[in-house]
Chains A and B, each alone.
Chain A
Amino acid sequence: MAVKKGKQTVVFQKKIAIEATAAFVGKKEGEGPLKDYFDTVVEDAMYGEKTWEKAESKFVKNTFEEALKKAGLKNSDIDYLVCGDLLNQCSGTVFGTREMGVPYFGIYGACSTFGEALTLGSILIDSGGGKTVLAGTSSHFCTAEKQFRFPLELGTQRPPSATWTVTGSGAAVLKENGSGPVIESATIGKVVDMGIKDAANMGGAMAGAAVDVITAHFRDTGRNADYYDVIATGDLGYIGRDLAVKYLAENGYEMPSSFTDCGIEIFDRKTQDTHSGGSGCACSAVVFCGYFYTLLKESKIKRMLLVPTGAMMSAISGKQGESIPSVSYAVSIERQ
């Protein structure tokens, strides 16, 4: 059974291995610096479907199937799906998984969903509730823009602080006593609202939640940044990363240069016009499942803290003048 350590951290007693991962991405992500780490690059934003929403669900379906295939498992071997996305009612994952016939948990943590899924999946296994869990998320640039912002073809300028929603899906198969990197502990973040109202500056809004959960993780575990080879936030982008470095230092934790952000890693901002970086549920999911998982597998890194970050505003809350509450999860993954 999982053991609670400190105020917010769960330490897993069983060996919860990430048996396999899969990462499917869109064209732009497939042109970025991490292009060689993804399973499939889908050139067509519609993925051969009639709507962007159907395309996102197809990303989910194909990515989840690929993750199972790589783990050598069938649908019937999976005890639970723990998954979510950005769309209303988590429709991206619901429609993508409706034919799978696997017990389903739909979760919403905005862009932090992948961290929430890994955490809850590990708790399920550690509690003895199951042995195998598939954790996955998706996002799609076009569906996200449509729901949260303006029509794609509207001729507007994006401010320098804006981030670019990653198109794709990432999935990880968690298996008790499996092979592969192990999820050792997770720190569950609180909702933190620093009063930022600019939805075009989500890194700025979310940095507070990331700082809060990373500090809590260090306090609960007695560790500091040196313990990890890599600490990667989800989608703070350049502005959010700089903010997090500043506030973590104020909390007494100097971040090394290896402190990075999945949204910074996935795009080349000089050539890809992505401004502050990537964002979306798929951002931390595909960067972890594609890139960091490979580094862990190849022993290029031994320990990492993955900290997906979520800006929890809705299309309505922003119009009503609300600030942006944020949440973040710190998941400690290591090679054993």
Chain B
Amino acid sequence: MWGEFMDTTEKGKKAYGRAVDSLTPNSKLFSNCLKAFVTGGLICIIGELLKNGFTSMDFDEDSVSLLTNMVLIGTSALLTGFGLYSKLGKFCGAGTIVPITGFANSMASSSIEGKSEGWIMGLGATMFNVAGPVIVYGLASSILVGVVYYFVK
């Protein structure tokens, strides 16, 4: 027996968990989804506008997508450095996490914190703390899909 005056049996813990759940307010699912939809869509529209802009400047297709990503990533990293992206993220939620801007934010924000431990073991090592799993499993699943595509197509 751990606590004497709390029921720490499985049954007691289950009842406690239910009490915690009933007293914990839920996140505002609907308004959060709506904000994410609108702001995430807005970022994609900005991406499309950039793409159209670069296309009209006579870049080839590869350069256009490269430049578009560069602008989005660069802006996102810059906003993170100025401490503005976290404020955006608080409002937009998944809207600013899911697009490529969120990926840049995860790397920039980790780098900022790692810097106090030096360039190598600090910034360099912590840069991928949040983004690392996304890269690993992103690559792994793309390989898997590639193999399946090779045989099934």
Contact = CB atoms under 8 A, between A and B. Distances in A.
B8 A153 contact: no
B13 A195 contact: yes
Interface of B: 2-6, 8, 12-14, 16-17, 19-20, 23-27, 32, 80-81, 83, 85-86, 88-90, 92-93, 96-97, 102, 105-106, 108-110, 112-113, 116, 129-130
A252 to B, nearest CB: 10
Contact of B96 (A155, A204, A211): A155
A153 B96 CA distance: 13
Given A155-B92, A155-B102, A215 B5 contact: yes
Interface of A is mostly: loop
B112 A204 contact: no
Contact of A192 (B2, B129, B130): B2
A190 B2 contact: yes
Interface string A192-213: 1111100001001001110110
Interface of B is mostly: helix
A160 B17 CA distance: 17
A177 interface: no
A37 to B, nearest CB: 29
A160 B26 CA distance: 7
Contact size range, A:
35 or more
A243 B110 contact: no
A301 B88 CA distance: 44
6 contacts: A152-B112, A153-B105, A190-B3, A191-B2, A201-B20, A243-B23
A322 to B, nearest CB: 14
Contacts of B108: 153
A159 interface: yes
A192 B19 contact: no
